[in-house]
């Protein structure tokens, strides 16, 4: 049975809308079949697709709507326009509307249901590293006690072994749990190697070495968990920032508290000092300031007056404000950030995917090599198989040492630890990376292509001049314009009224307000009829000849004419250039980056902005297709192009770029979907921070690889020659693991400059 939203009484559930949006934005994906009860999901594709990228993005969507996909909330009976939904028991199939033969061409692919780790609230949340640290502490204390007792000879050999046994049990507890779980899946990993070495050491009487190995292994595990906890804490601060309730102001002026999920676009809410803004909206009454640091990294409060935007999850600092909801809470800036971060944590960098595969294969390889070397030392070099002597160590002892020093713990951690730390730092400072690949590729960029409107400029108009004919009555022109424009919601009207408030103009009452379709507005102010609109208003009537002699505004400017009894004037506006743009472009050039403006605007308007910004290379009058061609041409001869944009027309060129960067606050959904890096709050200077971060992350990854591989190579060579005692091997192996974690944590301490 299929259902369509053309039925006015039906209403689609939120999870259906999220999946429909996924189908719309993901090329080649035609349908999704999911069963949340059995945790099964499959996707129908048409043509070739990047399955790894698709898996990550699909996982991010399912993770984001997990709570809505529980069996009790899985009863949607309607699909958005253009889609069809079918129910097959506990399974739902959402597909695009298409012809009957198209499904025969689809290829269904099964994907793994994402593992959603819900962190519990309360005192036990995030305690994993503390538990591991406690176990490591018990291991260390009992191991040291056993060593001291054995040296003093104050206790029997049985007591010493019992103390070592407690130490080994505590140090290997977490590893044993992991090994059991992996063996059930017929898998082994580094934990298996460590337990094998510890048991082997015990079997040949090297109890002290076994206890030392597991103490350092559990201690480094606790350090690793602490590093991950520190990283996730930065990201989870966003998740916890989501508001739960809102104070709704009804049509009768009554106030009542409702869950945030019940808010609708157009609702008005009251936000008191200290409360969070419950949804993305616009201030319609009151004056205040907002703490937006959790979204943008901006440390200073941002002033908010009538007409200013506010974002869900940010904090109202000091003034009460009435806010009209402009976007559903589920589609707020905060929720988009959360979904992007969840997707980013699933999208691995190419080098990270390599080390994942390498780590598993390497584990099996080193087990084989160690076993072979045992027989080489025993049968080839005639070393005793198990018994150490005063002259030499046994073949088994050397094999255990080789197994320890060759284990790839530090190597496996070297890249993901740095990538996670970089993602967390970026999220804290208003930069969202869609996975490690974006971080790695950003460091390769040598050309930056930038859209003009909304990127180098704010996309908002600003008043740059007011003229009256004859001169001298500019204040009166502005007062009349503000009086009438205060009744309008047009972007030009908002720019004029905001300019008027800043200029401190007098309030003028308006009556008989009307909109003139396609021309402007009119009303009665100061007992006279006033008309505001385009230049064409003057082309007919007594002023037709006069207006021909008045020069037009320059190409980069807009003009609004004000016509009243005995008064004519005009207000000049233009797209406001971002105050940071010129400095950002200068810094880009200092970094060796070539900068190019790609815009659909007319040449004169583009050149005027470029001249003010000191930008030498401009390509203007481009269609979206021509922007894509420009990006491709810039990317020739090995160049790596980053495209920065914000609009729907930028989405194709963003997809064509080596690295795609979107302006996050005003960026269109299409631009955000195509972008790998998102600059929150439309702060273009965050591009520089992202570029520097990618270089820092690359340096840290290289340092980690040198530390991990260098330690393995040196220690393996020494172990093959029998020159490395097991104790030294243990210190080198675990020490390199701890050093890699600490080195990656340095990324969290970097400054945003």
Just list the catalytic residues.
Answer: 451
Write the CB contacts of 326 (distance below 8 Å, at least 6 apart in sequence).
265, 279, 280, 281, 282, 309
The 3 state secondary structure assigned to 310-378 is: ECCCCEECCCCEEEEECCCHHHCHHHHHHHHHHHHHHCCCHHHHHHHHHHHHHHHHHHHHHHHHHHHHH
Residue pair 727/209 in contact by the 8 Å Cβ criterion: yes
DSSP 8-state class, residue 739: H
Q: Checking DSSP bridges between strand 40-45 and strand 107-112, what pairing results, if any?
A: antiparallel
Helix axis angle, 333-346 to 409-428, nearest 10° = 170
Query: In 3-state terms, what secondary structure has residue 563?
Result: strand
Residue pair 457/559 in contact by the 8 Å Cβ criterion: no
Write the CB contacts of 107 (distance below 8 Å, at least 6 apart in sequence).
44, 45, 46
Residue pair 352/433 in contact by the 8 Å Cβ criterion: no
**Which residue bears the tokens 């590729």?**
441
Which of 93, 116, 117 is closest to 106 using CA atoms? 93
Question: What burial letters (b/e) apply to 449-484, b meaning 16+ CB within 10 Å?
Answer: bbbbbbbbbbbebbbeebbbbeeebeebbbbbbbbb
Query: In 3-state terms, what secondary structure has residue 450?
Result: strand
ω before 468 within 30° of 0 (cis)? no
* Nearest-angstrom CA–CA distance, 350 and 444: 14
- Proportion of the chain in helix, strand, coil states, percent, rounded to 5: 50, 20, 30
The alpha carbon torsion through 149, 151, 155, 158 (nearest 10 deg) reads 90
Backbone φ and ψ for 55, nearest 5 degrees, come out as: -60, -45
* Nearest-angstrom CA–CA distance, 408 and 729: 13
* Nearest-angstrom CA–CA distance, 247 and 719: 69
Q: Checking DSSP bridges between strand 528-533 and strand 641-645, what pairing results, if any?
A: unpaired
């Amino acid at each position: 049975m299929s259902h369509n939203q053309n039925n006015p009484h039906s209403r689609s559930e939120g999870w259906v809308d999220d999946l429909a949006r996924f189908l719309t934005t993901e090329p080649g994906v035609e349908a999704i079949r999911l069963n949340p009860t059995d945790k099964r999901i499959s996707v129908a594709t048409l043509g070739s697709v990047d399955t790894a990228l698709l898996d990550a993005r699909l996982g991010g969507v399912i993770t984001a709507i997990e709570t809505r996909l529980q069996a009790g909330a899985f009863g949607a009976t309607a699909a958005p326009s253009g889609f069809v939904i079918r129910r097959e028991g506990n399974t739902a199939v959402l597909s695009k509307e298409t012809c009957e033969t198209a499904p025969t061409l689809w290829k269904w692919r099964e994907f793994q249901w994402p593992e959603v780790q819900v962190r519990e609230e309360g005192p036990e949340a995030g305690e994993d590293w503390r538990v591991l640290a406690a176990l490591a502490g018990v291991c260390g204390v009992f191991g040291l006690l056993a060593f001291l007792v054995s040296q003093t000879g104050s206790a029997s050999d049985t007591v010493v072994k019992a103390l070592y046994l407690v130490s080994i049990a505590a140090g290997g507890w977490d590893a044993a749990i992991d090994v059991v779980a992996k063996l059930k899946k017929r898998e082994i990993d580094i934990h298996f190697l460590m337990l094998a070495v510890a048991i082997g050491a015990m079997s040949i009487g090297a109890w002290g070495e076994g206890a030392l190995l597991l103490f350092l292994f559990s201690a480094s595990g606790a350090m690793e968990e602490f590093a991950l906890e520190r990283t996730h804490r930065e990201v989870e601060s966003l998740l916890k920032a989501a508001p739960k309730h809102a104070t709704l102001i009804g049509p009768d002026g009554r106030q009542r508290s409702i869950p945030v999920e019940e808010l609708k676009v157009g609702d008005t809410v009251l936000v008191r000092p200290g409360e969070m803004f419950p949804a993305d909206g616009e201030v319609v009454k009151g004056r205040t300031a907002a703490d937006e640091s959790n979204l943008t990294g901006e440390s200073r409060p941002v002033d908010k007056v009538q007409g200013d935007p506010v974002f869900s999850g940010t904090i109202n600092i000091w003034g009460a404000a009435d806010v009209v909801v402009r976007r559903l809470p589920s589609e707020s800036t905060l929720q988009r950030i959360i979904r992007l971060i969840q997707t980013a944590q699933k999208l691995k960098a190419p080098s990270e995917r390599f080390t994942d595969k390498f780590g598993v294969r390497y584990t099996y390889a080193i087990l084989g090599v160690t076993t072979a070397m045992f027989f080489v030392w025993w049968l080839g070099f005639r070393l005793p198989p198990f018994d150490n002597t005063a002259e030499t160590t046994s073949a088994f002892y050397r094999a255990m040492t080789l197994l320890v020093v060759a284990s790839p713990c530090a190597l496996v951690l070297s890249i993901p630890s740095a990538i996670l730390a970089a993602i967390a730092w970026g999220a804290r400072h208003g930069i969202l990376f869609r996975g490690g690949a974006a971080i790695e590729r950003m460091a390769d960029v040598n050309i930056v292509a930038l859209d003009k409107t909304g990127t180098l400029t704010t996309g908002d108009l600003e008043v740059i001049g007011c003229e009256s004919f004859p001169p001298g009555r500019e204040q009166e022109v502005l007062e009349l314009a503000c009086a009438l424009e205060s009744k309008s919601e047009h972007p030009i009207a908002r720019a004029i009224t905001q300019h008027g408030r800043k200029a401190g103009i007098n309030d003028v009452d308006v009556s008989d307000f009307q909109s003139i379709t396609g021309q402007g507005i009119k009303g009665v102010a100061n007992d006279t009829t006033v008309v505001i609109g385009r230049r064409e208003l003057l082309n007919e009537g007594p002023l037709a000849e006069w207006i021909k002699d008045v020069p037009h505004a320059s190409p980069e400017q807009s003009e609004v004419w004000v016509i009243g009894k005995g008064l004519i004037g005009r207000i000049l506006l233009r797209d406001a250039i971002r105050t940071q743009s010129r400095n950002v472009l200068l810094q880009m050039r200092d970094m060796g980056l070539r900068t190019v403006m790609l815009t659909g605007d007319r040449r004169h308007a583009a050149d005027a902005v470029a001249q003010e910004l000191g930008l030498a290379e401009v390509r203007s009058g481009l269609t979206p297709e021509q922007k894509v061609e420009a990006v491709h041409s810039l990317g020739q001869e090995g160049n790596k192009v980053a495209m920065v944009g914000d609009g729907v027309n930028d989405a194709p060129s963003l997809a064509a770029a080596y690295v795609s960067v979107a302006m996050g606050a005003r960026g269109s959904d299409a631009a955000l979907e195509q972008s790998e890096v998102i600059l929150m709050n439309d702060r273009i200077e965050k591009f520089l921070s992202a570029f520097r971060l990618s270089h820092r992350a690359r340096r840290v990854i290289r340092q980690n690889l040198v530390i991990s591989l260098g330690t393995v190579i040196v220690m393996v060579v020494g172990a093959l020659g029998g020159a490395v005692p097991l104790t030294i091997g243990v210190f080198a192996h675990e020490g390199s693991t701890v050093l890699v974690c600490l080195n990656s944590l340095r990324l969290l301490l970097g400054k945003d400059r």
